[in-house]
Amino acid sequence: GAVVSQHPSRVICKSGTSVKIECRSLDFQATTMFWYRQFPKKSLMLMATSNEGSKATYEQGVEKDKFLINHASLTLSTLTVTSAHPEDSSFYICSADMQGGYTFGSGTRLTVV
């Protein structure tokens, strides 16, 4: 079946640095990808919708300058957490829209120290 490969699975960074998370669709083209954030023992909160070749659509309350999304090709979307702070520590998950079905990446555990 269709697979979305997400990297890295875990990252620890210092406060003030930037971190890039990648999601690649394998064996299919993902015109649309979604980025979610998940706090411990909580549900997934949609952060933004990423469309290939155009600007991402951010959910209310999500800072677009802090969470930069790039979807430059049909197989790759990236989320960059800029100037990370401890409160950005979370689990980030991407998902690709497969025309009615959704495939999720394995998630990235970000810890900002």
Partner 1 sequence: SQQGEEDPQALSIQEGENATMNCSYKTSINNLQWYRQNSGRGLVHLILIRSNEREKHSGRLRVTLDTSKKSSSLLITASRAADTASYFCATDQETSGSRLTFGEGTQLTVNP
Binding site for partner 1 (CB under 8 A): 6, 32, 34, 36, 41-46, 49, 60, 91, 93, 95, 97, 101-107, 109
Choice between 36 and 84, CB closer to partner 1:
36
Minimum Å distance from CB 64 to partner 1?
A: 17
Q: In angstroms, rounded to a whole number, what is the distance separating the alpha carbons of residues 14 and 73? A: 29
Say which residue the tokens 């990252």 belong to.
Answer: 11
* Rg of the Cα atoms in the chain: 13
Q: In angstroms, rounded to a whole number, what is the distance separating the alpha carbons of residues 93 and 95? A: 7
Minimum Å distance from CB 36 to partner 1?
A: 8
